[in-house]
Amino acid sequence: MNNRPDRVRKTMMKEIGDILLKDIRDSRIKGIVSVTDLEIASDYSFAKVYVSVLCKEEEKAAALEALKEKEPHVRYEIGKRIRLRLTPKIEFHLDDSLERGSRISALIDKISKGEI
């Protein structure tokens, strides 16, 4: 049983979260940015990073654009922190699953109270 891909995925999620917290400074990123998931190719050449941005709806697009501009810097930092033969190309995607989850939870609460 080979669990290396999962270990690499978890380590990259942790390190990218740390980089976003400590290294990335951009005025367009308002609110809290957290890494919710990461999909990595089997040859470790490409990684999709799903981030959740807790801010106003209109500020999310600007925050995602700022993150996309910082992709080369994040890749460079990952290359320094994790020993891999090939540092994956990183692509940020917005993940709104937390908001959908809270919306569904609110609907379930209304149904259980008989409001709907």
Give this prediction's pTM. Answer: 0.80
More confident residue, 114 or 12: 12
pLDDT of residue 111: 84
Question: Is residue 110 very low, low, confident or very high in pLDDT (cuts 50, 70, 90)?
Answer: confident
Strand 89-94: give its sheet, edge to edge: 32-40, 46-54, 89-94
Question: Is residue 59 very low, low, confident or very high in pLDDT (cuts 50, 70, 90)?
Answer: confident
Q: Would you list the DSSP string of the chain? A: ---HHHHHHHHHHHHHHHHHHHT---TT--SEEEEEEEEE-TTSSEEEEEEEEES-HHHHHHHHHHHHHTHHHHHHHHHHHS--SSPPEEEEEE--HHHHHHHHHHHHHHHHHT--
Name the CATH architecture for the domain at 4-113.
2-Layer Sandwich (3.30)
